A and B are shown apart, each in its own frame.
Chain A
Amino acid sequence: MIDADAMISSRRTTAILLGMLVALCALGFAIRNDVLLAEQRFDTTSADAASTLTRQFDDLNATLRSLSNTHYATNNLSQQELSAYAQGFERSHPYIDGILQVQRVNAAQRESYESQFREGGYPTYAIRDSQPDGRLTIAPYRPEHMVLKFIEPLEPGLARFLGLDFYSQDALRQGIGQAIRTGDIAAAPAGFLRPGTFLLLVPVYKGFFVPDNIEDRQTQAYGAYALLVNSRRFLAGIRRNHPRLSVTISAFDGQRQQVMAGLTPSRTPGSLDRVLPTLRGAHDIRLAHAKFVFSFEKDQDGSIFHPLKWLALTAMLMATYAALVTVVLTRLRAREQALEAKEQLFQEKERAQVTLQSIGEAVITTDPTGVVDFMNPMAEHLTGWRAEAAHGRHLNEIFSLVSESDGRALPDPIARALRDHDESEAAAIMLRSDGATIAVIENAAAIRDSDGHFTGAALIVRDVSRERSLLREMAFQASHDPLTRLINRRQFERELAMVIEDALNSNNQHALMYIDLDQFKAINDSSGHMAGDQLLKQVAGHLGENIRRLDRLARLGGDEFGVLLRDCTLDRALEVAESLRHEIKDVRLHWEDKTFRVSLSIGVVSINKDSGNLDEVLRAADAACYVAKDQGRNRVHCYQPDDDLLAQRSTDMQWLQRLRDSIDQNRLVLHGQSIFPLGNSHLRHPVMCELLVRMLDDDGRTVPPMTFIPAAERFNLMFDLDLWVIGEAFRRLARLWKTHPADPRIFTINLSGQSLDHPDLETSIQALQDKQEIQPHKICFEITETSVIANMDRALAMMDLLRRRGFLFALDDFGTGLSSFAYLKKLPVDFLKIDGEFVRDILDDPVDKAMVDTIRRIGGVLGMTTIAESIEDEETCKLLTAMGIDYGQGYFLGKPGAGRLDPTESNVVALPRQS
């Protein structure tokens, strides 16, 4: 299309350029035509003017000849006769100002000649010469004078020339001499007598005839008759008829050409005068031997041009050209459009073919009876038939379609399309001739010709087996746990609701088991999630193998499973629960080089018409499971509405509420337990103090932490609780250090695993730090080994940030995580608090002693200070001191109390008895 547009644009440009060329040619032709016409007009004008002048010269010639003839016919023409002859000339010959008679007078005759005139009424008469300045002076004596004798009609302005010797002018003398010799007409220069006039004269001779030979003519010459011609009036006709024509009349005597008269029209030069050439032409006539030349000139200006004619001519040519170009371009365009259409059709066909070859749908076309005439490759693939083989066969031979839902045969799609006169789409199962089935969506449409008659049908079949599979998979994933592939809590609750409904409506009994995997968190934390996942899959497999097919096993989340026992009494359900517990108890999980044993805590609840709704049944099962767990795990507890243990569970819930209220109402207090340097450690280490939270009941009594801490942990309140402790500690310590800035003690604050996982921990601590003026190098956060290991990267980032703000860290309950040593190198902690489990029996258990010693040594190598917890007697304290443990903490050394934060000597100074 771009090429076509470019071609059209190119043609259009070419056409425009060609059009401009045509226009320029037309313009040039028009201009040239105007110039030629102007030249033709000039030629015509010149010829006309020459004709006029010739006619007038003929008239002058005839007049002169008439005068000369009259002269010969009379006894010379007297002045009286000449006057008579001239009368009326001003009307018949308006351009003749006068008739002159010139007489040859020789020197001998001169005196009497002049005297005759003076006596005859011309008192000042004399033969005179004409001077260049116009003055007339007495002529000197010459052999011959050619004297102006008469002028008729005589005008006062001409009277002074009476007596003028024509021979005083050399040119005139020669002209007259030539005329006398030839007997022909001669001319005098322009303005000889009067500006604006010229003279034509004819010689006359004595006797009645013109002498035949030159000698006689020279001898017998009497004088001449001349016509004084007024140039302006002589050329008036030309000026009138051809006002812009310049005319010059010259006489040519065979040697020289002298100007007799001229006419130059005055006009304002036009802008084109310098560009356009002056037109020139010349004509000559001969009056006997005399030759007169008429020269014509005409300046051209813009008036010779006719822009409207140019415009009309150019417009006409351009219109013709435009019509021609339009016709040619239209034909070219039509041919190109036909070619384009053909090419487009070909491309469309190609595109259709390629599309049909490449699309994912099977396309089959048939005639109106259902006989196949085309199949694309996908159709070949889908039906298992080669197109060549299928061609000519009825569609039913290739495949058949059955309902996806009930497997019944579907109507012939071709017949349906022809019947419904429209497209129709249906999901179906294709039964191939080789017996294979494929889930498809078929779409059949009738094919009509331009008259609307059916010429066949097109069947488009799309293989949707993958979509169906994906749908099934999605449905499975929506209702199943991806790890264990058991149904998930949502599906389980859906089915449970149906069972509850059944129980309500049918008096049938069913049962629900809530199973919690004991110690799963420890395994998960210590060996990683992959180990935990593996354990869960194994447990799920074992559980599934030990229930009925009609029962339903689900993973409810984390390490919790549920079993729905349909049509099952409570006793039977308890038996099943026990069997499951036993089965799992014997399961050994092998993960890498470790082996884990797990157990189940199972809560069982009967589902009957009195069980309540779904939430109540689930809560009951959960509570029963909690009780089983609380009772020591690895046991089954059956829910009974009047169960005491369940009442305790209810108490936990109450503690939860009280804890929330305490946090909100600030009814928590901080106690402290001193940690003293052992042996000579006081020389290096200051006393430490672990800050502990306590709750005040409604009566203001202190509530032990184990009463509300589990509830806080179970209900995810530990972060809030830890933040309260940190905030309160910062406030208290800021106040302490404000009054006792030299108090050397290091105060430790516990951070729970939940807090460690909380994303806002660092920012919250920083915000609290910014609010108080504290000494962070005297504050140490205690974090448990297991919580650090559970999220090492997160813990390291947090520790790094807070250490950069000056805080210290201690690893609490160290030794319980089994493989904690591997992480010690990575952990930037300052203190190792050895778990009390190793300290309590250190006097009796050499393993514990070895563990403590190992920990001490490793801590020493890593530059960490060791703290032994749970020192409850002096022997233990001595042993630990002897072992080189740096700090000791326990009831033996000091119980927790509210006053431990005060800067008293007993709190600040190391125990003297340990010295």
Chain B
Amino acid sequence: MRIQCAAGGNSLQPGLLVVLFSLLLSEAGIADRRCLFVSSYHQGYAWSDGVERGLRRTLEGQCVIRQFDMDTKRSKAEKDKTGAADRARQIIREWQPDIVITADDNAAKYLIEPYFKNHALPFVFCGVNWTVKEYGFPYSNVTGMIEVAPVAAMIDEARALVPGARRVLYLGANTATEHKNARRIRKSAEDRGLSFEQRLASGQEEWIDSYADGQAYDFVVVGSTAGIDNWDTNRAVEAIRPITRKLTLTSHEWMMPVAMLGMTKVPEEQGEWAAKVALLILEGAPPDSIPIIANRKWDLFLNEALLNQAGITLPSHLTGKGKVFN
């Protein structure tokens, strides 16, 4: 592309000028729209990374994205969480975003609920587990996507694979999210006449011990270990491989190293939906005109190594469908 000076005898192509001008306006429009992404956790956490990935993929080029990680998975103290919320609030005050997108429960709990209920600033949340009732949503300025796991499908599949199963153990980290998840699975299991128990570990060794205890149950639902400090997946794998005998299932992809069958949520779906809703709101749609919905996608993974270790053979509709986790 060559732009020549009109005084030199040639003129700038009018069409080119229009395009350039349009681009400038577009950039200006993008620059004017500020999207603040507040993650409850931290980068490096698989779920959060997936959400961020989906969000950025959708928002890229549509607004200026600024991200603030509350890091409440690793800093679990109450003061850390409120402190993180304050910093997020400070950023909102200073940066004046047009919209705030939050991921996962702590942002909803520590930022939206106490400070921005029915506020003029629109919020789109995602990754809030199972229900928003405890945060009082929906607000007039808040909408988003609830994170649900295919718990019913998972329980149903487990019952199908383990005929006559009666007891189920839920194994996860001792975090608010896992407590919430445990409640959901409990309900689903108990709705199906199963006996439900949960072990929410605060450390990896505790989790390994709990896993070993789970071999006494008919199947084990593996929750997230996010929140367990110094979690070492390899260590966990090494520890469970010899003892694994019972069917283990999970709804978190990142927990597949320690589970045989994964019916996993797709974190990108959360990020993408939040981003799409945010764009619609930025286009003028009132937040409360967009209903709060749940995620609809999940994926199927098989950990053949563990299955083989346990001597469990899956039916063909699973082996043919399930992705092989390596």
Instruction: Spell out A's residues near B (CB within 8 Å).
Output: 79-80, 83, 120-125, 150, 152, 154-157, 159-160, 162
List chain A residues, Cβ under 8 A from B280: 156-157
Q: Is the CB of B290 within 8 A of A156?
A: yes
Task: Determine if B289 is an interface residue (Cβ-Cβ < 8 Å).
Answer: yes
Interface size for B (C-beta < 8 A) is 27
Complex Cα distance, B280 from A155, in Å, reads 10
Task: Determine if B220 is an interface residue (Cβ-Cβ < 8 Å).
Answer: no
List chain B residues, Cβ under 8 A from A79: 296
Task: Determine if B302 is an interface residue (Cβ-Cβ < 8 Å).
Answer: no
Task: Determine if B133 is an interface residue (Cβ-Cβ < 8 Å).
Answer: yes
Top 6 nearest A-B pairs by Cβ distance?
A121-B294, A121-B146, A121-B148, A156-B277, A156-B280, A79-B296
Complex Cα distance, B276 from A157, in Å, reads 9
Q: Is the CB of B291 within 8 A of A122?
A: yes
Closest to A160 in B: B291
Closest to A155 in B: B276
List chain A residues, Cβ under 8 A from B24: none
Q: Given A80-B150, A160-B290 in contact, is the A121-B295 Cβ separation under 8 Å? A: yes
Contact with A along B120-146 (1 / 0, CB 8 A): 000000000011110001100000011
Q: Given A80-B298, A154-B296, A157-B280 in contact, is the A124-B291 Cβ separation under 8 Å? A: yes
Complex Cα distance, B296 from A427, in Å, reads 144
Known: A121-B148, A122-B293, A157-B285. 18 other contacts (CB 8 A): A80-B150, A80-B297, A83-B297, A121-B130, A121-B293, A121-B294, A123-B133, A123-B137, A123-B138, A123-B146, A124-B138, A150-B296, A152-B296, A155-B276, A157-B280, A159-B290, A159-B291, A162-B293
Task: Determine if B273 is an interface residue (Cβ-Cβ < 8 Å).
Answer: yes
Complex Cα distance, B285 from A156, in Å, reads 10
Q: Is the CB of A123 within 8 A of B292?
A: yes
List chain A residues, Cβ under 8 A from B153: 80
Complex Cα distance, B316 from A738, in Å, reads 179
Complex Cα distance, B290 from A124, in Å, reads 10
Complex Cα distance, B298 from A120, in Å, reads 14
Q: Is the CB of B292 within 8 A of A122?
A: yes
List chain B residues, Cβ under 8 A from A157: 280, 285, 290
Kindly identify, within residues 125 to 183 of chain B, every residue whose CB is under 8 Å from any CB belonging to chain A.
Answer: 130-133, 137-138, 145-148, 150, 153
Of the A-B pairs whose beta carbons lie under 8 Å apart in the complex, a sample of 15, sorted by A's number, is: A80-B296, A80-B297, A80-B298, A120-B148, A120-B294, A122-B291, A122-B292, A123-B132, A123-B133, A123-B146, A123-B292, A124-B291, A150-B296, A154-B293, A156-B280
Complex Cα distance, B305 from A435, in Å, reads 170
List chain A residues, Cβ under 8 A from B293: 121-122, 154, 159, 162
List chain A residues, Cβ under 8 A from B276: 155-156
Complex Cα distance, B50 from A505, in Å, reads 170
List chain A residues, Cβ under 8 A from B296: 79-80, 83, 150, 152, 154
List chain B residues, Cβ under 8 A from A125: 291
Complex Cα distance, B290 from A160, in Å, reads 6
B283 CB to nearest A CB, Å:
9
Complex Cα distance, B294 from A83, in Å, reads 13
Contact with A along B205-241 (1 / 0, CB 8 A): 0000000000000000000000000000000000000
B68 CB to nearest A CB, Å:
23
List chain B residues, Cβ under 8 A from A80: 150, 153, 296-298
Complex Cα distance, B294 from A124, in Å, reads 11
List chain A residues, Cβ under 8 A from B292: 121-124
List chain A residues, Cβ under 8 A from B138: 123-124
Complex Cα distance, B150 from A194, in Å, reads 30
Closest to A161 in B: B291
Main secondary structure of the interface of A (DSSP, over half): loop
Closest to B151 in A: A120
Complex Cα distance, B297 from A80, in Å, reads 5
Closest to A118 in B: B131
Complex Cα distance, B287 from A160, in Å, reads 11
Complex Cα distance, B297 from A125, in Å, reads 19
List chain B residues, Cβ under 8 A from A83: 296-297
List chain B residues, Cβ under 8 A from A159: 290-291, 293
Candidate in A83, A150, A152 with the most chain B CB atoms within 10 angstroms: A83
List chain B residues, Cβ under 8 A from A160: 289-291
A760 CB to nearest B CB, Å:
102
Closest to B263 in A: A80
List chain B residues, Cβ under 8 A from A152: 296
Q: Is the CB of B294 within 8 A of A162?
A: no
B139 CB to nearest A CB, Å:
12
Complex Cα distance, B298 from A83, in Å, reads 10
B253 CB to nearest A CB, Å:
15
Complex Cα distance, B273 from A156, in Å, reads 8
Complex Cα distance, B291 from A120, in Å, reads 13
List chain B residues, Cβ under 8 A from A120: 148, 294
Closest to A125 in B: B291
B99 CB to nearest A CB, Å:
13
B190 CB to nearest A CB, Å:
14
Complex Cα distance, B295 from A152, in Å, reads 12
Complex Cα distance, B292 from A122, in Å, reads 6
List chain B residues, Cβ under 8 A from A123: 131-133, 137-138, 146, 292
Complex Cα distance, B293 from A152, in Å, reads 13
List chain A residues, Cβ under 8 A from B130: 121
Closest to B132 in A: A123
Complex Cα distance, B137 from A122, in Å, reads 11
A70 CB to nearest B CB, Å:
15
List chain A residues, Cβ under 8 A from B277: 156
List chain A residues, Cβ under 8 A from B150: 80
Closest to A87 in B: B297
Complex Cα distance, B150 from A120, in Å, reads 9
A292 CB to nearest B CB, Å:
32
The residue from B137, B289, B291 contacting A162, defined by CB atoms under 8 A apart? B291
Complex Cα distance, B292 from A160, in Å, reads 9
List chain A residues, Cβ under 8 A from B137: 123
Closest to A152 in B: B296
List chain A residues, Cβ under 8 A from B298: 80
Closest to B297 in A: A83
List chain A residues, Cβ under 8 A from B294: 120-122
Kindly identify, within residues 266 to 318 of chain B, every residue whose CB is under 8 Å from any CB belonging to chain A.
Answer: 273, 276-277, 280, 285, 289-298
Complex Cα distance, B131 from A80, in Å, reads 20
A463 CB to nearest B CB, Å:
101
List chain B residues, Cβ under 8 A from A154: 273, 293, 296
B303 CB to nearest A CB, Å:
21
A750 CB to nearest B CB, Å:
120
Candidate in B280, B292, B296, B297 with the most chain A CB atoms within 10 angstroms: B296
Closest to B283 in A: A157
Candidate in A152, A156, A160 with the most chain B CB atoms within 10 angstroms: A156
Complex Cα distance, B299 from A83, in Å, reads 12
Kindly identify, within residues 80 to 139 of chain B, every residue whose CB is under 8 Å from any CB belonging to chain A.
Answer: 130-133, 137-138
A2 CB to nearest B CB, Å:
70
List chain A residues, Cβ under 8 A from B146: 121-123
Complex Cα distance, B296 from A79, in Å, reads 6
Complex Cα distance, B292 from A477, in Å, reads 152
A782 CB to nearest B CB, Å:
121
List chain B residues, Cβ under 8 A from A150: 296
Complex Cα distance, B268 from A25, in Å, reads 73
Complex Cα distance, B251 from A80, in Å, reads 14
Complex Cα distance, B146 from A121, in Å, reads 6
Complex Cα distance, B290 from A79, in Å, reads 19
Candidate in A120, A152, A162 with the most chain B CB atoms within 10 angstroms: A120
List chain B residues, Cβ under 8 A from A156: 273, 276-277, 280, 285, 290
Complex Cα distance, B51 from A635, in Å, reads 181
A135 CB to nearest B CB, Å:
10
List chain A residues, Cβ under 8 A from B133: 123
Complex Cα distance, B281 from A157, in Å, reads 10
Closest to A163 in B: B291
List chain A residues, Cβ under 8 A from B148: 120-121
A164 CB to nearest B CB, Å:
11
Closest to B130 in A: A121
Complex Cα distance, B290 from A193, in Å, reads 14
